[in-house]
Amino acid sequence: MNNVKHQRLDVNETTIHISKLYHLLRLGEDIEDEYGIMATTDGEKLYVRDKDIASSLGVVYGGTATNYRELINELLKLHLNFLFNTVMPYTMTTGRGGPEFLTIVLTDGQYLVLEGEEGKVTAPYPRGISATHTHPDVCLMSHKDLETSDKAFINGYMINSVASLQCVYILYRTGPYTIDDREELLNIAKITKNSRNLREIANAQLGLHGNLKGVIMQVR
């Protein structure tokens, strides 16, 4: 059941750029998964050193010095820009005892803001790239947040994050979401659910391996 009260659908230059990089990343992942080769990129196109694959997928035959996976670094920079310019104002409302908000960057470059209730915001995730919801204080994820991240990554999301007035926690993929990645994430969800030690939870959520990474950034 949804508890969403208010919706906002919008678009800006940052989310359009996020969408462009996302589609390059997903195509690179498909090439890696299907053909076992790493595409390279110039930030605008993908390149492969196989004429048949290049022709069938509409990518460029050849190569560059940059592995396609490095596009995630640029995607993260854009995500942070989007967070600080679009999402952070909502943390002020949440931090003053107001509702939580969920912001999703959609695959077409639009973004959706959903208002929930005090202490939670729940809604089905549409086809998207990144999702961020606000917390009143601690920016680490709850076990339910981590379980939601699992579902989001299965459905192709690159980033799931939490933002508060003090900090931002970003959980993201650096490559395809593997079985090992999923097992580790769900295990961290169990640790988060059962532990009462904030340091233990933080160490678990920041100590990811494989294709998952977790980082915390202080806002002030």
Statement to judge: residues 99 and 49 lie in one domain: no
With beta carbons less than 8 A apart as the criterion, state whether 213 and 206 touch: no
Q: What is the model's pLDDT at position 220?
A: 65
Length of the chain: 220
Q: Domain end: 39, 68, 97, which one?
A: 68
End-to-end CA distance of the chain: 35
What is the pTM assigned to this prediction? Answer: 0.91
Statement to judge: residues 111 and 213 lie in one domain: yes
For residue 43, give both structure tokens: 């930030």
- How far apart (Å, rounded) are the C-alpha atoms in residues 149 and 143? 10
Statement to judge: residues 178 and 119 lie in one domain: yes
Has residue 160 been placed in a domain? yes
Q: What is the model's pLDDT at position 117?
A: 79
Count CB atoms within 10 A of the CB of residue 83: 22
CA atoms within 13 A on the CB side of 33: 10
Has residue 186 been placed in a domain? yes
Q: What is the model's pLDDT at position 1?
A: 44
Statement to judge: residues 31 and 121 lie in one domain: no
Statement to judge: residues 136 and 152 lie in one domain: yes
pLDDT tens series, the chain, 220 aa: 455 577 899 999 999 999 999 999 999 999 999 999 999 999 999 999 999 999 999 999 999 999 999 999 999 999 999 999 999 999 999 988 889 999 999 999 999 999 987 766 777 789 999 999 999 988 899 999 999 999 999 999 999 999 999 999 999 999 999 999 999 999 999 999 999 899 999 999 999 999 999 999 988 6
Q: Domain end: 52, 68, 84, which one?
A: 68
Has residue 1 been placed in a domain? no
CA atoms within 13 A on the CB side of 213: 11
Q: What is the model's pLDDT at position 6?
A: 76
Statement to judge: residues 92 and 158 lie in one domain: yes
- How far apart (Å, rounded) are the C-alpha atoms in residues 66 and 46? 10
Nearest to 141 by CA among 204, 84, 218, 183: 204
Statement to judge: residues 160 and 200 lie in one domain: yes
Statement to judge: residues 55 and 31 lie in one domain: yes
Strands (E), the chain: 7-11, 40-41, 46-48, 60-61, 101-106, 110-115, 128-134, 159-163, 167-173, 212-218
Q: What is the model's pLDDT at position 71?
A: 97
Domains identified in the chain, total number: 2
| Residue-number span of the structural domain to which 19 is assigned | 14-68
Has residue 143 been placed in a domain? yes
Q: Domain end: 68, 84, 111, which one?
A: 68
Statement to judge: residues 119 and 167 lie in one domain: yes
- How far apart (Å, rounded) are the C-alpha atoms in residues 87 and 113? 9
